[in-house]
Structure 1
Amino acid sequence: MKAFVTGSTGLLGNNLVRLLLEQGYSVKALVRSPEKASQLLSDLDVTLVKGDMLNIDSFAKELAGCDILFHTAAYFREYYQPGNHWQMLEDINIKGTIKLLTEAEKQGIKKVIYVSSAGPVGMKAANVPGDESTPPEQQAIKNLYFKSKVLAEDAIFEFLKQHSLPVTLILPGWMFGPRDAAPTGAGQLVLDYLNQKMPGILDGGTCVVDARDVAQAMINAVEYGKSGKRYITAGQFCNFETLFQTLEKVSAIPSPKRRIPYILTLIVAWFSDNYARLTNNRSMLPLDGIRIMHLKRQVSSAKAIKELGASFRPLEKTLDDVVEWYRKHY
């Protein structure tokens, strides 16, 4: 089969392209920067398609002849950063997604695997993980990126009422993995740890998953995923203490021992955000991210395990591979 992959130079997209090729697919990879793609995908037999989610018409005809569209692209780089990025989030994550689905159907795509996020999913009750039927956590959707994903899902369900194109939704947790070149927030955390820049253990946690496991679940969804159904692929809950202890084990770099009280973290994060605004730089400790992580929300991937055959490798294996990749490339 022939696949079209958006966001192919990102953490998830890059690993997805590799797995698709290993499993017999031919791949067209949408890239904004051919120069970046030539570095990250140079060892792969893929067809590079230059394009941008802000101008879908410019590459829509390249969808012709493809069987499956894997849509991993999203505007998310700044989703824990200060400032209001809503216009870009709306244009790319919501309007762009529906435009892409419309063009995919016109060009004969047989099925779409769309990547959303488990981030907005709430918990059923105290200590009871949320699942695909759980409403969004109100505190979480104050985050504009998560809000855009909730509204994008709503838009997809409206699209499905009027169209026959099958769309299956995948909801990953916080993804870690090799080839996180940008890097994402997860990759930056690992780099900061390796450079011994972590000030202490933060009070928070979330569900952590290997990007390669999410990618494999997406491929499985081509055969087993039902249209209009959501599948959480979030791995296991992990707090910062466990994350740092595991990084210590795989990197041989000592974990910070000091625990930073939540209220102190909020104060530092507030200053970090405001300094970032003044200097037009990235906040090293984004306030929004601290608040989200402090919720310590857990979600269940049981449906994806049962229906898609999803599986999740141990955190130690994931972080070992991430550390090895960064040490070779940074």
Structure 2
Amino acid sequence: STAGLFPSSRDPPATETSAPSAILDDPYVVTKLQAHEVVVKAMHSGLPVTIVAPSAVFGPRDTNQLGRSLALLVRRRLPLLPSGFGLNTWVHAADVAEGHVLAATVGRPGEMYFLGDRVLSMYDFLGAAAREAGVRPPRGRVPMGLVRFVARFSEWRAGRAGRTPLLSRSALAFSKLDVVVDASKARRELGWNPKPFEERMKDTMAWYVETYARGDAPMPVKRGGASAGAPARRA
């Protein structure tokens, strides 16, 4: 599953007993909720299932919008950010992988586990990334309405090229939400112990600097993705 189905603030954060919701009319969010509901129903019928719900994942080799943002950051081509970002719970991909293994081996059937570590806004996350990369963080702010207009054009252009848009309206809408989760259950029951955020960020940005600091290195692009701005209606 995904922690994105459980938007919540710091006070209180979401726990595994919180109710999921598709707060955005977006294909990714809606289908994630549908899949979550199918699995929970089967679980209540006796299927031995353990659910893992990672939060905001970062790390090397990311071809999504976060990966492109980090690549632009190390090239000093990310001076501005949209205004209005919410808080998120960040976790490294390697720690998510470890959490999946632990859930499969020692997790209790019929239970769900959040995997999340450091709570930061996107501004603070990119600030930490910039420090490790030795570049200036994005300091300028652009009104969200203007960025949504740019995102609409990005979706149109990506649709013609058969690529995932560099910027999407749904991603912007999601970025405004607070997604703060309490992962203490995974730590307590699974023995999940993610490495320090600072260490993970240092390793991540070392990879991005090595890979994308050169101006001739191709930017990360996920090909063949559906436009993230298309609406999705639940049946």
TM range (shorter): 0.7 to 0.9
In structure 2, the partner of 1:197 is 77
Partner of 2:12: 128
Report the alpha carbon displacement of residue 261 of structure 1 after superposing the two structures with TM.
2.3
Conserved? CA contact 2:7–2:178, under 8 Å:
no
CA distance in structure 1 between the partners assigned to 2:148 and 2:209 by the alignment: 32
Aligned counterparts of 2:119 and 2:134: Cα–Cα separation in 1: 23
- Give the alignment's TM-score, normalised by structure 1: 0.57
Equivalent position of 1:151 in the other structure: 34
- The count of corresponding residues between Structure 1 and Structure 2 is 210
Measured after TM superposition, the shift of residue 237 of structure 1 is 2.1
Inter-CA distance 282–171: structure 2 relative to 1 (3 Å threshold): same
CA RMSD, Structure 1 to Structure 2 (Å): 2.3
- Which letter does structure 2 place at the counterpart of 1:319? M
Name the residue aligned to 1:235: 117
**Aligned-partner SS, 1:145:** helix
| d(CA) in 2 for partners of 1:283, 1:312 | 31
Report which of the two structures shows the higher radius of gyration computed on alpha carbons. 1
Secondary structure at the aligned position of 1:170 is classed as strand
Alpha carbons 2:65, 2:166 under 8 Å: kept: no
8 Å contact 1:175–1:210 — kept in the other structure?
A: yes
Q: In structure 1, how many angstroms separate the alpha carbons of the residues matched to 2:52 and 2:176?
A: 24
> Could you tell which deviates more after superposition, 196-205 or 246-255?
196-205
Gaps of 5+ in 1: 1-115
Q: Which of 252, 277, 288 lines up with 2:159 in the alignment? A: 277
CA distance in 2, matches of 1:199, 1:277: 26
- The sequence identity of aligned pairs, in percent, is 24
Tell me the equivalent position of 2:23: 139
- Structure 1 Cα separation of the partners of residues 103 and 120 of structure 2: 26
Contact 2:132–2:206 (Cα < 8 Å) also in 1: no
Whether the 8 Å contact between 1:176 and 1:318 is mirrored in structure 2 is no
Which whole-Å deviations, capped at 9, do the CAs of 1:187-217 have from their partners, x for residues lacking one? 2221121122324133314221111111222
Give distance in 1, aligned partners of 2:56 and 2:142: 22
Measured in 2, the distance between the counterparts of 1:265 and 1:296 equals 19
CA distance in 2 between counterparts of 1:200 and 1:313 reads 30
| Equivalent residue number for residue 187 of structure 1 | 67
Question: 2:122 and 2:211 mapped to 1: Cα distance?
Answer: 25
- What residue identity is the alignment partner of 1:136? P
* CA deviation vs aligned residue, 1:223-242 (integer Å, no higher than 9, x gap): 43111211010222221211
Match of 2:94 in 1: 212
The aligned residue for residue 105 of structure 1 is none
Q: Using the alignment, how far apart are the partners of 1:228 and 1:144 within structure 2? A: 26
1 CA distance for matches of 2:197 and 2:69?
Answer: 15
